[in-house]
């Protein structure tokens, strides 16, 4: 299966993260807040998976897919910006980076759905990637909470 | 035979017209977050609206007085004015939420600019109200809302563990503020004050009298009862699909996903169509309710059946409230957020609407032989107690959960 390179949204999120880090003050993103953010990303990925599944099965309407992808992609980008802007407490820095990357990947996947809302092949590929991204998000949640996935 | 047919039509309209954007949002979120655990709150809310709709319809049929007439009469000008202001704020917020919901659904169907659909939806509502008689408006949205039956079919198709579903109807409490917030939200979404404002005024519009009491009872109990099944189906369908995946539905479009998952594009279109009619009907009901209340409180001529010439202030206020709602939606506030606030604020206003109805419906000197019997009275007071508790808890829960955000 083809792996996708970093898209515009990923790069934007990474740049936003770098700027935020440069401007940051003391840590204002707690482990719990970061965990909530990553759980939201996992939920968005799950929803994206269902929408992509509809496209893959040719069981949806293009307008619905496009509008939902735009909305959820916007939510993922917003989450990326929020996480990137915040200064994490020291012991979750790595997880914060992972979360920003996940949010960026999600935004890219939704962008792909927006561009190809009626393409079954793209739908299947995006569905698979959504599942992978969800797994990554769940893994970050597991690291943050110390609970197994 | 004609009366049976008329009653059947009324029931069908009540079933289809039961749901609004508040039910769609809160019930879907409740299922996603807590599986089937909040089904009991749907049942509680459905029984509550049936009890109070029947009472308000009975008062309207016997006395020809709709709810706000009764409120003014029983509570006097001062308290009546407080009730009017609270109800109007909630009703206008509700109209804005419904209008925003209409625009979102149209956007999902046709993918164009949101603001364009807000304005188009408002014009479409004005055209429908101008062209159709009162009964026609009710039937258009009521029958269209029956498309929501796709959620019942979806819930059955999913094949949930029916034992767990049945268990959800047994009241249970979690040790979580968010859970309590959803108890309040699901309950209140079923009991929005505009529903009884509209129901009783609609009874007067349709010329109900004592011969309509059976029709009123069947509409309220069977119609709202069956409507409750649609509301429960939303929780089950969402609980089955979203809960295991940890999905948090924050968008109106997500409500339709279970129907798409079960029946593909046909399911999606039926769900979006049903949502369109439910939300459109609620936009008409809530905007009418705001104008009915104002006109009844101030003693103006009112009623769709009178026409704009004979009830100009009523018609003007209706257009004014609709325009206000358009402006609120166009201000950029998310319609789902408006919905959540309107439902939670409605809880606070509920006692101001339901207490006067209960008092007048139980007054033998006013209602004669049609006053509340022991069962109606007991249910009415029981629900009023529940409403009072929830009214006190609603705002603290809204703040403690960051508007349901956890």
Q: What's the pTM value of the predicted model, to 2 decimals?
A: 0.90
User: B268 CB near a chain A CB, below 8 Å?
Assistant: yes
> Is A88 strand, coil or helix?
strand
Task: Say whether B251 and A51 touch across the interface (CB within 8 A).
Answer: no
Residue B176, classed as helix, strand or coil, is coil
Q: Where are the domains of chain B?
A: 2-400
Q: What is the pLDDT of residue B7?
A: 67
Contact A54 B264 (CB under 8 A): yes
Q: What φ, ψ does residue B4 adopt, rounded to 5°?
A: -60, -45
What pLDDT score does B16 carry?
A: 59
| Interface contact flag, A54 B261, Cβ < 8 Å | yes
Tokens 């909470």 -> residue: A145
Residue of A nearest to B262 (CA): A59
- pLDDT value for B286: 93
Name chain A contacts of B257, Cβ cutoff 8 Å.
Answer: 47, 50-51
> For residues B93 and B345, is the Cβ–Cβ distance under 8 A?
yes
Can you give the pLDDT at residue A16? 54
pLDDT value, residue A5: 43
Residue A10, min C-alpha distance to chain B (Å): 23
Task: Note whether B268 contacts A60, CB cutoff 8 Å.
Answer: yes
Contacts of A64 in chain B (CB under 8 A): 108-109, 253, 256, 260, 268, 272
What are the two backbone dihedrals, phi and then psi, of residue B246, each rounded to the nearest 5 degrees? 70, 25
Of A43, A57, A64, which is closest to B253 when you measure between CB atoms? A64
CATH topology of domain A29-142: 1.20.120
Tens-level pLDDT at each residue, chain B (406 residues): 566 666 665 676 677 567 899 999 999 999 999 999 999 999 999 999 999 999 999 999 998 888 888 888 877 888 889 989 999 999 999 999 999 999 999 999 999 999 999 999 999 999 999 999 888 888 899 889 999 999 999 999 999 999 999 999 999 888 899 999 999 999 998 988 888 888 889 888 888 899 999 989 988 888 888 899 999 999 999 999 999 999 989 899 999 999 999 999 999 999 999 999 999 999 999 999 999 999 999 989 888 888 888 899 999 999 999 999 999 999 999 998 999 889 888 988 889 889 989 999 999 998 999 999 999 999 999 999 999 999 999 989 988 988 776 6
Q: Are residues A50 and B257, on separate chains, in Cβ contact within 8 Å?
A: yes
Q: Are B154 and B233 a contacting pair, CB within 8 Å?
A: yes
N-to-C CA span, chain B: 54
Which H or E run includes B349? helix B335-361
Question: In chain A, which residues have their Cβ closer than 8 Å to the Cβ of B272?
Answer: 64
**Which ipTM was obtained for this model?**
0.90
pLDDT of residue A13: 52
Average of pLDDT values for A55-69? 97
Of B248, B253, B265, the CB nearest to A59: B265
Give dist(CA B6, CA B115) in Å, integer.
Answer: 39
Q: How far is CA A89 from CA A27, A34, A136, A142, B184, in A?
A: 5, 10, 21, 18, 35
Q: Which residues of A touch B268 (CB under 8 A)?
A: 54, 59-61, 64
B251 CB within 8 Å of a chain A CB: yes
Q: What is the mean pLDDT of chain A?
A: 85
- Asked if residue A79 has pLDDT above 80, the reply is yes
| CATH classification (class only), B2-400 | mainly alpha
């Amino acid at each position: 299966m083809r792996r996708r390179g970093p898209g515009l949204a990923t790069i934007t999120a990474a740049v936003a993260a770098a700027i935020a880090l440069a401007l940051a003050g003391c840590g204002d993103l707690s482990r719990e807040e970061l965990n909530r953010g990553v759980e939201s990303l996992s939920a968005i990925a799950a929803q994206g998976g269902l929408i992509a599944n509809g496209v893959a099965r040719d069981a949806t309407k293009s307008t619905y897919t496009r509008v939902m992808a735009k909305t959820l992609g916007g939510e993922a980008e917003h989450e990326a910006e929020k996480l990137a802007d915040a200064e994490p407490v020291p012991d979750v820095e790595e997880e914060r980076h992972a979360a920003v990357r996940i949010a960026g990947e999600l935004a890219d996947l939704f962008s792909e759905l927006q561009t190809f809302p009626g393409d079954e092949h793209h739908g299947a590929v995006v569905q698979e990637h959504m599942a992978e991204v969800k797994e990554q998000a769940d893994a970050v949640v597991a690291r943050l909470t110390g609970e197994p996935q | 035979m004609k009366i049976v047919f008329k009653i059947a039509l009324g029931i069908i309209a009540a079933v289809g017209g039961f749901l609004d954007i508040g039910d769609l949002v809160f019930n879907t979120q409740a299922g996603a977050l807590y599986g089937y655990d909040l089904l009991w709150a749907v049942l509680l809310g459905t029984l509550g609206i049936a009890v109070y709709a029947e009472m308000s319809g009975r008062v309207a049929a016997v006395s020809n007085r709709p709810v706000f007439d009764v409120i003014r009469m029983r509570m006097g000008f001062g308290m009546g004015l407080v009730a009017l202001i609270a109800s109007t704020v909630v009703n206008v917020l509700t109209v804005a939420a419904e209008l925003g919901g209409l625009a979102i659904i149209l956007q999902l169907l046709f993918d164009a600019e949101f603001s364009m659909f807000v304005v188009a939806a408002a014009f479409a509502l004005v055209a429908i109200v101008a062209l159709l008689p009162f009964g026609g408006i009710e039937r258009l949205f009521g029958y269209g809302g029956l498309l929501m039956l796709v959620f019942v079919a979806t819930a059955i198709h999913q094949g949930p563990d029916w034992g767990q579903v049945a268990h959800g109807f047994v009241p249970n409490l979690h040790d979580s503020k968010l859970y309590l917030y959803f108890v309040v939200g699901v309950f209140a979404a079923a009991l929005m004050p505009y529903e009884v404002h509209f129901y009783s005024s609609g009874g007067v519009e349709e010329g109900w009298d004592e011969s309509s009491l059976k029709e009123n009872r069947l509409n309220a109990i069977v119609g709202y009862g069956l409507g409750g099944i649609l509301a429960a189906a939303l929780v089950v369908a969402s609980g089955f699909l979203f809960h295991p995946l940890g999905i948090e539905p924050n968008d109106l479009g997500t409500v339709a996903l279970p129907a798409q998952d079960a029946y593909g594009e046909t399911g999606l279109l039926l769900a979006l169509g049903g949502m369109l009619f439910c939300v459109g009907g609620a936009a008409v009901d809530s905007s009418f309710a705001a104008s009915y209340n104002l006109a009844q409180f101030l003693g103006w001529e009112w009623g769709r059946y009178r026409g704009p010439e004979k009830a100009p202030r009523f018609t003007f206020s209706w257009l004014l409230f609709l325009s206000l709602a358009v402006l609120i939606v166009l201000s950029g506030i998310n319609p789902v957020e408006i919905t959540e606030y309107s439902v939670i604020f409605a809880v606070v206003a509920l006692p101001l609407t339901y207490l006067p109805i209960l008092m007048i419906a139980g007054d033998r000197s006013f209602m004669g032989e049609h006053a509340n019997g022991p069962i109606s009275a007991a249910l009415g007071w029981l629900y009023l107690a529940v409403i009072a508790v929830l009214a006190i808890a609603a705002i603290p829960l809204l703040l403690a959960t960051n508007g349901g955000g956890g």
